[in-house]
Amino acid sequence: MNEERIKNAIRVILEEIGEDPDREGLRDTPDRVYRMYKEIFSGIGSDPQDVLTAVFHEQHKELVIVKDIRFYSVCEHHMVPFFGKAHVGYLPDGKIIGLSKIARLVDIVSKRLQLQERMTQMIADAMNQRLEPKGVIVMLEAEHLCMSMRGIKRPGSTTVTIATRGIFDTDENMRKRFFELIK
Protein backbone atom coordinates (compact mmCIF):
# COMPACT_ATOMS: atom_id res chain seq x y z
CA MET A 1 0.00 0.00 0.00
CA ASN A 2 1.21 3.46 -0.83
CA GLU A 3 0.67 5.41 2.38
CA GLU A 4 0.79 8.91 0.87
CA ARG A 5 -1.56 8.08 -2.01
CA ILE A 6 -4.14 6.63 0.36
CA LYS A 7 -3.91 9.60 2.73
CA ASN A 8 -4.26 12.03 -0.17
CA ALA A 9 -7.24 10.09 -1.53
CA ILE A 10 -8.97 10.26 1.85
CA ARG A 11 -8.36 14.02 1.99
CA VAL A 12 -9.94 14.36 -1.48
CA ILE A 13 -12.96 12.29 -0.42
CA LEU A 14 -13.41 14.44 2.70
CA GLU A 15 -13.27 17.60 0.60
CA GLU A 16 -15.66 16.21 -2.03
CA ILE A 17 -18.33 15.30 0.54
CA GLY A 18 -18.17 18.87 1.86
CA GLU A 19 -15.88 18.41 4.87
CA ASP A 20 -12.77 20.33 5.87
CA PRO A 21 -9.93 17.81 6.24
CA ASP A 22 -7.97 20.38 8.28
CA ARG A 23 -10.55 20.79 11.04
CA GLU A 24 -9.61 19.36 14.44
CA GLY A 25 -11.68 16.17 14.31
CA LEU A 26 -10.54 15.25 10.78
CA ARG A 27 -6.89 16.32 10.82
CA ASP A 28 -5.60 12.81 11.61
CA THR A 29 -8.37 10.92 9.77
CA PRO A 30 -6.32 10.18 6.61
CA ASP A 31 -3.62 8.55 8.75
CA ARG A 32 -6.18 6.61 10.82
CA VAL A 33 -7.89 5.36 7.64
CA TYR A 34 -4.54 4.30 6.16
CA ARG A 35 -3.68 2.30 9.30
CA MET A 36 -7.17 0.77 9.34
CA TYR A 37 -6.83 -0.28 5.68
CA LYS A 38 -3.49 -1.94 6.44
CA GLU A 39 -5.22 -4.01 9.11
CA ILE A 40 -8.56 -4.86 7.52
CA PHE A 41 -7.08 -5.65 4.10
CA SER A 42 -4.08 -7.60 5.39
CA GLY A 43 -5.33 -10.80 3.74
CA ILE A 44 -4.95 -9.41 0.20
CA GLY A 45 -2.28 -11.33 -1.66
CA SER A 46 -2.08 -14.08 0.96
CA ASP A 47 -2.66 -17.72 0.13
CA PRO A 48 -5.34 -19.06 2.52
CA GLN A 49 -3.62 -22.45 2.64
CA ASP A 50 -0.52 -20.83 4.16
CA VAL A 51 -2.26 -20.57 7.55
CA LEU A 52 -3.29 -24.24 7.50
CA THR A 53 -0.16 -25.48 9.21
CA ALA A 54 -0.18 -27.87 12.18
CA VAL A 55 -1.58 -30.86 10.27
CA PHE A 56 -1.45 -34.10 12.24
CA HIS A 57 -1.89 -37.70 11.17
CA GLU A 58 -4.74 -39.04 13.25
CA GLN A 59 -7.33 -41.71 12.57
CA HIS A 60 -10.25 -39.66 13.90
CA LYS A 61 -13.28 -40.73 11.85
CA GLU A 62 -15.99 -38.43 13.13
CA LEU A 63 -17.10 -34.95 12.16
CA VAL A 64 -14.97 -32.04 13.41
CA ILE A 65 -16.68 -28.64 13.64
CA VAL A 66 -15.50 -25.21 14.70
CA LYS A 67 -18.57 -23.02 14.95
CA ASP A 68 -19.39 -19.40 15.69
CA ILE A 69 -16.11 -18.02 14.35
CA ARG A 70 -16.69 -14.26 14.28
CA PHE A 71 -15.49 -12.44 11.19
CA TYR A 72 -15.52 -8.93 9.74
CA SER A 73 -15.04 -8.24 6.06
CA VAL A 74 -15.62 -5.50 3.49
CA CYS A 75 -18.03 -5.89 0.58
CA GLU A 76 -16.31 -5.24 -2.72
CA HIS A 77 -19.43 -3.70 -4.25
CA HIS A 78 -19.90 -0.77 -1.84
CA MET A 79 -16.77 -0.96 0.33
CA VAL A 80 -18.80 -1.17 3.52
CA PRO A 81 -18.48 -3.90 6.16
CA PHE A 82 -20.29 -7.17 6.45
CA PHE A 83 -19.87 -9.31 9.53
CA GLY A 84 -21.09 -12.50 11.08
CA LYS A 85 -20.21 -16.05 12.03
CA ALA A 86 -18.55 -18.89 10.16
CA HIS A 87 -19.19 -22.56 10.89
CA VAL A 88 -16.60 -24.93 9.42
CA GLY A 89 -16.84 -28.71 9.51
CA TYR A 90 -14.86 -31.55 7.99
CA LEU A 91 -14.79 -35.32 8.05
CA PRO A 92 -11.11 -36.34 8.40
CA ASP A 93 -9.46 -39.01 6.30
CA GLY A 94 -6.27 -39.59 8.28
CA LYS A 95 -5.34 -35.93 8.84
CA ILE A 96 -6.62 -33.33 11.28
CA ILE A 97 -5.66 -29.67 11.72
CA GLY A 98 -5.04 -27.52 14.77
CA LEU A 99 -8.39 -25.92 15.57
CA SER A 100 -7.02 -22.37 15.77
CA LYS A 101 -5.87 -22.73 12.17
CA ILE A 102 -9.48 -22.93 11.04
CA ALA A 103 -10.20 -19.60 12.75
CA ARG A 104 -7.04 -18.15 11.15
CA LEU A 105 -8.26 -19.34 7.76
CA VAL A 106 -11.58 -17.52 8.22
CA ASP A 107 -9.66 -14.43 9.33
CA ILE A 108 -7.25 -14.28 6.38
CA VAL A 109 -10.01 -14.89 3.83
CA SER A 110 -12.17 -12.15 5.38
CA LYS A 111 -9.41 -9.51 5.38
CA ARG A 112 -9.78 -8.43 1.76
CA LEU A 113 -12.44 -6.89 -0.43
CA GLN A 114 -14.80 -9.80 -0.51
CA LEU A 115 -18.12 -11.35 -1.46
CA GLN A 116 -19.72 -13.65 1.08
CA GLU A 117 -20.31 -16.29 -1.57
CA ARG A 118 -16.64 -16.25 -2.62
CA MET A 119 -15.45 -16.26 0.97
CA THR A 120 -17.48 -19.39 1.71
CA GLN A 121 -16.01 -21.17 -1.33
CA MET A 122 -12.43 -20.08 -0.50
CA ILE A 123 -12.63 -21.52 3.02
CA ALA A 124 -14.05 -24.83 1.77
CA ASP A 125 -11.47 -25.09 -1.02
CA ALA A 126 -8.50 -24.36 1.25
CA MET A 127 -9.64 -26.95 3.81
CA ASN A 128 -10.32 -29.51 1.10
CA GLN A 129 -6.98 -29.02 -0.66
CA ARG A 130 -4.82 -28.95 2.47
CA LEU A 131 -6.42 -31.82 4.42
CA GLU A 132 -7.85 -34.01 1.65
CA PRO A 133 -10.70 -35.00 3.99
CA LYS A 134 -13.70 -37.14 3.16
CA GLY A 135 -15.69 -33.92 3.09
CA VAL A 136 -15.86 -30.24 4.04
CA ILE A 137 -18.86 -28.04 4.79
CA VAL A 138 -18.80 -24.30 5.44
CA MET A 139 -21.68 -22.04 6.38
CA LEU A 140 -21.46 -18.27 6.79
CA GLU A 141 -24.17 -16.10 8.34
CA ALA A 142 -23.64 -12.36 7.93
CA GLU A 143 -25.25 -8.96 8.08
CA HIS A 144 -24.28 -6.65 5.22
CA LEU A 145 -24.24 -2.95 6.03
CA CYS A 146 -24.86 -2.20 2.35
CA MET A 147 -28.36 -3.62 2.99
CA SER A 148 -28.73 -2.35 6.56
CA MET A 149 -27.72 1.30 6.39
CA ARG A 150 -28.27 2.21 2.71
CA GLY A 151 -30.30 1.03 -0.24
CA ILE A 152 -33.12 -1.21 0.97
CA LYS A 153 -32.35 -0.33 4.65
CA ARG A 154 -33.16 -3.65 6.28
CA PRO A 155 -31.05 -3.85 9.46
CA GLY A 156 -30.82 -7.27 11.04
CA SER A 157 -31.38 -9.21 7.83
CA THR A 158 -28.95 -12.11 7.52
CA THR A 159 -27.43 -13.70 4.44
CA VAL A 160 -26.54 -17.40 4.66
CA THR A 161 -24.13 -19.08 2.26
CA ILE A 162 -23.04 -22.72 2.20
CA ALA A 163 -20.25 -24.59 0.44
CA THR A 164 -19.91 -28.37 0.45
CA ARG A 165 -17.17 -30.69 -0.75
CA GLY A 166 -16.87 -34.47 -0.85
CA ILE A 167 -19.31 -36.49 1.21
CA PHE A 168 -21.31 -33.36 2.11
CA ASP A 169 -22.22 -33.03 -1.58
CA THR A 170 -23.91 -36.44 -1.66
CA ASP A 171 -24.83 -37.54 1.88
CA GLU A 172 -27.94 -35.73 3.14
CA ASN A 173 -27.53 -37.31 6.60
CA MET A 174 -24.04 -35.81 6.98
CA ARG A 175 -25.35 -32.37 6.02
CA LYS A 176 -28.24 -32.71 8.49
CA ARG A 177 -25.82 -33.76 11.23
CA PHE A 178 -23.69 -30.65 10.61
CA PHE A 179 -26.71 -28.33 10.73
CA GLU A 180 -27.98 -29.98 13.94
CA LEU A 181 -24.61 -29.58 15.62
CA ILE A 182 -24.13 -25.90 14.76
CA LYS A 183 -27.53 -24.85 16.15
**75 counts as catalytic:** yes
Task: Tell me the pLDDT tens digit for each residue of 154-178.
Answer: 899 999 999 999 999 999 999 999 9
Read off the pTM: 0.95
Q: One of 15, 60, 77, 129 is an active-site residue; which one?
A: 77
Number of domains in the chain: 2
Clarify whether residues 147 and 67 are in a common domain.
yes
**57 counts as catalytic:** no
- pLDDT at res. 50: 93
- Give the residue ranges of DSSP H helices in the chain: 3-16, 29-40, 99-110, 116-131, 145-148, 167-170, 172-182
Give the residue numbers spanning the domain of 28. Answer: 3-40
The reply to whether 166 falls in a domain is yes
**49 counts as catalytic:** no
Task: Tell me the pLDDT tens digit for each residue of 127-140.
Answer: 999 999 999 999 99
Residue 21 scores a pLDDT above 90: yes
Neighbours of 99 (CB within 10 A): 13
- pLDDT at res. 109: 98
**16 counts as catalytic:** no
- pLDDT at res. 151: 86
Give which of 135, 133, 124 is closest to 49, Cα–Cα: 124
CATH number at residue 17: 1.10.286.10
Task: Tell me the pLDDT tens digit for each residue of 43-59.
Answer: 999 999 999 988 999 99
Q: How confident is the model at residue 68 (pLDDT cuts 50, 70, 90)?
A: very high
Consult the annotation and say whether 57 binds a ligand: no
Clarify whether residues 76 and 9 are in a common domain.
no
- pLDDT at res. 39: 97
Distance CA 165, CA 137 (A): 6
Q: One of 78, 121, 141, 143 is an active-site residue; which one?
A: 78
**116 counts as catalytic:** yes
**117 counts as catalytic:** no
Buried/exposed code over 40-51 (b: 16+ C-beta within 10 A; e: otherwise): bbebeeeebeeb
Clarify whether residues 84 and 165 are in a common domain.
yes
Consult the annotation and say whether 78 binds a ligand: yes
Q: How confident is the model at residue 100 (pLDDT cuts 50, 70, 90)?
A: very high
Residue 63 scores a pLDDT above 90: yes
Consult the annotation and say whether 146 binds a ligand: yes
